[in-house]
A and B are shown apart, each in its own frame.
Chain A
Amino acid sequence: MKKSFSLRNLVKNFSVHKYARIFGIIPVAIVLIALVVIIALGASGGSYTDAIGIGIDFEGGTVLTVRLGEAALKDYDNQVREITQTIEEQQDADGRSVRVTYVQRQTGNNDNNASIAFRYKNVSSNDERINELNTKIRDAVNAMYPDEDNVTYESIGATAAQDLLSKAAIALVVSVALILVYIIIRFTLMSGFAAIIALIHDVVIMFALTVICRVQINSSYVAAMITIIAYSINNTIIIFDRCREYLKPLKGQKNIDYRGIGDMAVRETFTRSIYTTLTTMVTVIFLAILGSDSIREFCVPIILGLVAGLYSSVCLATPLWSAMSASFDRTKEKYFKRNTVSYDKKEDDEEQVSLAAGDGAEVKAKAAKQTDQQQKQKANTIYKYSKKNTTFKKKK
């Protein structure tokens, strides 16, 4: 029979552990691509902050004010579009051009003074170059309105508070530490580490994807990132809660089938993981579609981060947890009972190889069951884990 990819079937028989290696490779690939992008752009453009996409809020830039009088009020949208186009068309000696980040209308007491302010990040760090390009832009915009001389520019520094990043970083480190402690208390040591690794993954991947998508990083990005961190940790916890529940009746057992438990937890929370991510994303997507460019710059990282968060909770956290828990148990066992030779490292390796090699051929079979069977063949001491067993215990 051919491979079947209907969602229902996929979910029913899905084993994250089976594809754990592939799941591990994807994030590494994304980070590598981001690094290549940064290095390539950084080397050719000469500025690594540009390559990363640090925006005007952190770096400062130029405010170009165009005094238009009533036209700024009545014909705002058209004027903005035309002037933005003119600004972005101008190039400096190296052929680089600016990108307008914020557009604002400014009104005074008098309608004649109404003006539109355009903010953009400078493309060079050389003052002369900046001035050269700004003068060029000013002249070009002036040329659009031949009657008066009404364009001025002013260079501005970073608007984001200087301590925004450092304070946010400190707060993040402290909260991650506290969250780790909380998870260790409520769950297990290994759950805590697996959750934190998944969280670090989200931060890194979200950043990498932002770089690849060339989204500018401004002060709202910090909030977007914190949102994702909070969200992803919640996602992971829900899956670990299932694991915790299945582990409860097995407390004190040896050779617990963490992989089977992990797979089952992932499968049973799968609907919920998808629903939750989609319901959260729907509002952000509408905000991105309807909003201005600067709103989009905020929403796109969140959308990317939600995907990364879903990915890490489902595909990474659980395999990590099961692998870490299993090896933790083994180490503990080894430590306490040096005489008992209950496991053989070589055999374990072989199992992994056969799983990785057998990806294509064994898709149809239920993976968890398969793992169970394989292990049963190896050692009779392994506690066989199945749904029936838990329900029995729970009923009691």
Chain B
Amino acid sequence: MNKKKSIIVLTVVSVFIVLMTVFAVVEFPIADTVYDYHGYARTIKLGLDMSGGISAVFRVNGDGIDGADELSAAVDGTVSSLTSMLVGKGYTEATVTRGTNSNGDITIRVEVPDVDDPERVLDLVGNPARLEFRSSQDDNAEVLIVGRDHLESAFVTTDENSQYAVGLRFNAAGTEKFAQVTSDYLNQQIYIYIDNQLYTTVNVNSTITNGQAIITNNSGYTYEEAYDFATRLQSGTFAVSLDVTEVRNISPTLGENSIFIALIAGAIGVALIFIFLGVAYRGLGLAADIALMIYVVLLLWFCAVLPWVQLTLPGIAGILLSIGMAVDANVIIFERIKDEYRKTSKPIPTAIKDGFKRSTAAIIDGNVTTLIGAIVLWILGSASIVGFAVTLFIGIILSMFTSLVVTRIVLKCFIPHNSTSEMFYGLKREEVQEDSEEVAPAAAKEAHV
């Protein structure tokens, strides 16, 4: 690489860093639209512990359930159905806890991070829809299918005219019952009731054995309507009814300023690392600092755009660890370069090249083992661990990329300017000594101390 080219590359790299940093934080209206641009670092989704959210307390309405044990089992069932419903809707960090209030009532407390309007979902949970399929409109009509007993889940889907509809999936008992009903009432009408009100009438055209059905209405749903209806139907399958007693905003569990503190600590830590690398490895450290800056902005950007990332304290741990590993990779390379230069008579560019070559295996092996862990956790871990695994995964990939590629490119750009400067690169040759003499000078130095 010649001087001119290296200056161009370095300029491109620094412009990239500056632009990425600016776009991380700025906010401005986008011309000719109603939208504003929000710095991508601000759009990173934060978990309950970092930014707080909404807490709702539901009082359990145990009507129709006899016996404390049955009620308790029903509440536990509801807690797990509610959890899986919230996770299914993307609130992966939601916590659902069973409790007892001062009056002795059983309560269910739901806490959801403040993303995607959780209040609406919690309102819908407190307003369940009880689904029934009936044989006729008479008061003494036979109830064929009951949501609470037979429905497994309800979701938004589209019908054959690509209009929004609510899909129903029955559980094992429900599938059997539904197949029987659709064969018994083949070419007849059945009536769908929601909360004892006739909702719609269906002509049974064929026997359905796969346990799936969709509900539409004549005018078609908007997406919002379908979503709300599906959520209410899903809530109607819970073993107990829930009455909302309070909905509140809650501050982060880690304390009021936790995100600010995390940022400050991160900034101080990274700044100290930058200074440290510059002091310990001089020109090499400078290259690593540039690579680490790219690492930091790319990491923030990935955290902002990837949908699985919801930053919680464990997620921060993943980031800290991957920053540590990014620095580590650079340190390994530089120690190698120092070794190469010290022990041989290679010129600086060759020492740098060999240093990279001989440390690559170590860095890849070290990172791959961690990567294996991250992938396994991503696949097998529960929701809150997944956030950690994802940030760790992104961090490791980026750390390998920046240390093995970016640092190398930046160093290649440095070389044409000062390829012989031991001072700039902080490299030193070893004075040639016999093994037996090595102990003596060291001991002599000690005497002075």
A contact patch SS:
helix
Q: Which residues of A contact B111 (CB under 8 A)?
A: 159
- Judged by a CB distance under 8 angstroms, whether A193 is at the interface is no
Instruction: Decide: A9 and B250 in contact? CB cutoff 8 A.
Output: no
Q: Judge whether A183 and B261 touch: CB under 8 Å.
A: no
User: Residues of A contacting B252 with CB < 8 Å?
Assistant: 104
Interfacial residues of chain B within 358-386, with CB under 8 A of chain A in the complex: 358, 361-362, 365-370, 372-374, 376-377, 379-385
Whether B77 sits at the interface, judged by CB under 8 Å, is no
Contact B261 A223 (CB under 8 A): no
Q: Does A343 contact B (CB under 8 A)?
A: no
Encoded as 1 (CB less than 8 Å from any A CB) or 0, chain B from 92 to 111 comes to 00010111111000010101
Task: Specify which of A4, A163, A170, A294 is in contact with B253 (CB 8 Å cutoff).
Answer: A294
| Nearest chain B CB to A302 CB, angstrom units | 7
Most chain B CB inside 10 Å of its own CB: which residue of A60, A102, A156, A230: A230
Contact in complex: B372, A178 (CB < 8 Å): yes
Instruction: Kindly list chain A residues whose C-beta atoms are within 8 Å of the C-beta of B273.
Output: 279, 282-283
Task: Let me know if B317 and A292 touch, CB within 8 A.
Answer: no
Given contacts A230-B392, A271-B335, contact A104 B313 (CB under 8 A): no
Q: Which residues of B contact A (CB under 8 A)?
A: 49, 52, 55, 57, 83, 95, 97-102, 107, 109, 111, 246-256, 258, 261-262, 264-266, 268-270, 272-273, 276, 280, 312-314, 316-318, 320-321, 323-325, 327-328, 331-332, 335, 339, 343-344, 358, 361-362, 365-370, 372-374, 376-377, 379-385, 388, 392, 435, 438-439, 442-443, 445-447, 449
- The interface residues of chain A lying within 8 Å CB-to-CB of B449 are 6
Q: List 14 A-B contacts (CB under 8 A).
A: A1-B443, A1-B447, A63-B109, A113-B248, A154-B100, A157-B97, A160-B384, A171-B385, A227-B321, A230-B370, A283-B270, A291-B262, A295-B258, A391-B344
In addition to A108-B247, A241-B365, 5 A-B residue pairs with Cβ atoms within 8 Å of each other are A223-B318, A223-B385, A234-B369, A234-B370, A280-B320
Tell yes or no: A255 within 8 A of B by CB: no
In Å, the complex CA distance between A292 and B343 comes to 49
Give Cα distance in the complex from A63 to B107, angstroms.
12
Q: State in angstroms the CA–CA spacing of A133 and B379 once bound together.
A: 43
Given A154-B99, A159-B95, A234-B366: A104 and B261 within 8 A (CB)? no
Tell me whether B258 and A105 are in contact (CB under 8 A). Answer: no
A222: interface (CB < 8 Å) = yes
If A227-B318, A233-B370 touch, does A291 touch B261 (CB 8 Å cutoff)? yes
Q: Are B372 and A369 in contact (CB under 8 A)?
A: no
Report yes or no: B381 in contact with A108, Cβ–Cβ below 8 A.
no
Given A6-B449, A227-B317, decide whether A286 and B268 contact each other with a Cβ distance below 8 A.
yes
- Distance in Å: Cβ of B12 to nearest Cβ of chain A: 28
Closest to A391 in B: B343
* Minimum distance in angstroms from B288 CB to a CB of chain A: 11
Q: Which residue of A lies closest to B377 (CB)?
A: A171
CA distance A187 to B362 in the complex (A): 11
Given the interface contacts A154-B99, A276-B324, does A220 sit within 8 Å of B313 by beta carbon?
yes
Interface residues on A, range: 35 or more
User: In the complex, are the beta carbons of B376 and A153 less than 8 A apart?
Assistant: no
Q: Which of A283-298 contact B (CB under 8 A)?
A: 283-284, 286-287, 289-295, 298
Within 8 A of B (CB), among A74-116: 76, 102-108, 113
CB distance from A155 to the nearest CB of B (A): 5
Closest 9 CB pairs of A and B: A283-B269, A223-B314, A280-B324, A292-B255, A241-B362, A156-B99, A175-B376, A286-B265, A105-B251
* Chain B positions within 8 Å of A284 at CB level: 269, 320
CA separation between A13 and B102, bound complex, in Å?
A: 67
What CA separation (Å) do A366 and B107 show in the bound complex? 69
Minimal beta-carbon separation of A8 from chain B (angstroms): 8
- In the bound complex, residues from chain A placing their C-beta under 8 Å from that of B372 are 175, 178-179, 182
Residue A213 is within 8 A (CB to CB) of chain B in the complex: no
In the complex, are the beta carbons of A292 and B258 less than 8 A apart? yes
A106 x B249 contact (CB < 8 A): yes
Q: B369 and A282: CB pair below 8 A? A: no
Q: Looking at the complex, which one of A6, A157, A226, A291 makes contact with B98 (CB distance below 8 Å)?
A: A157
Q: CA–CA, A286 to B384, complex, Å?
A: 24
Q: A154-B101, A234-B370 are in contact. Are A161 and B327 (CB under 8 A)?
A: no
Which of B102, B327, B339, B367 gathers most chain A CB within 10 Å?
A: B102
* Contact assessment for B373 and A163 in the assembled complex, using a CB-CB cutoff below 8 Å: no
Contact of A161 among B268, B374, B383 (CB under 8 A): B383
Known: A182-B372, A230-B321, A238-B366. A364 touches B339 (CB 8 A): no
Contact call A237/B317, Cβ cutoff below 8 A: no
Whether A161 and B384, one on each chain, are in contact in the complex, defined by CB atoms closer than 8 angstroms, is: yes
CB within 8 A of B388: which of A223, A231, A241, A279?
A223
CA A164 to CA B220, docked complex, whole Å: 41
A191-234 residues with Cβ-Cβ distance < 8 A to B are 219-220, 222-224, 226-227, 229-231, 233-234
Bound-state Cα–Cα, A279 to B362, Å? 19
**Closest chain B residue to A3 by CB distance?**
B446
Kindly state whether residue A378 has any CB partner on chain B within 8 Å.
no
Inside 8 A of B388's CB, which chain A residues have their CB?
A: 223, 226-227
Query: What B residues does A102 contact at CB under 8 A?
Result: 253-254
Chain B CB within 8 A of A152 CB: yes
Q: A157-B98, A158-B97, A161-B83 are in contact. Are A279 and B327 (CB under 8 A)?
A: yes
CB-nearest residue of chain A to B312:
A220
Q: A108-B248, A154-B99, A154-B107 are in contact. Are A168 and B382 (CB under 8 A)?
A: yes
Once bound together, how far apart are the Cα atoms of A275 and B90, in whole Å?
A: 40
Q: How far is the CA of A9 from the CA of B258 in the complex (A)?
A: 43
Also in contact, A283 and B327, with CB within 8 A (given A219-B384, A298-B313): no
B331, A275: Cβ atoms under 8 Å? yes
C-alpha spacing A280/B276, complex, angstroms: 12
Query: Is the CB–CB distance between B327 and A295 below 8 Å?
Result: no
> Residues 251-269 of chain A: 1 if any B CB is under 8 Å from the residue's CB, otherwise 0?
0000000000000000011
Cross-chain contact B332 with A272 (CB below 8 angstroms): yes
- Contacting residues, chain A, for B381 (C-beta < 8 A): 167-168, 171
Q: Are B446 and A6 in contact (CB under 8 A)?
A: yes
For the complex formed, measure the closest distance between the CB of A255 and the CB atoms of chain B, giving whole angstroms.
22
Nearest Cβ on chain A to B363's Cβ, whole angstroms:
8
Docked pose: A70 CA to B249 CA in angstroms: 15
Closest partner residue, chain B, to A230 (CB atom): B370
Verify A106–B317 contact, CB threshold 8 A: no
- Is A43's CB within 8 Å of the partner chain B? no
A36 at the B interface (CB under 8 A): no
Pick from A13, A174, A272: contact of B380, CB under 8 Å: A174
Beta-carbon contact of B382 and A164 below 8 Å = yes
Instruction: Fill in one digit per residue for A51-78: 1 if any B CB lies within 8 Å of its CB, else 0.
Output: 0000000001001000000000000100
C-alpha spacing A12/B438, complex, angstroms: 10
- What residues on B are CB-neighbors of A153 within 8 Å? 102
Q: How far is the CA of A13 from the CA of B435 in the complex (A)?
A: 12
- From residue B38, how far is it (CB to closest CB) to chain A in Å? 24
Given the known interface contacts A1-B443, A4-B446, A179-B373, the answer about A234 and B100 at a Cβ–Cβ threshold of 8 Å is no
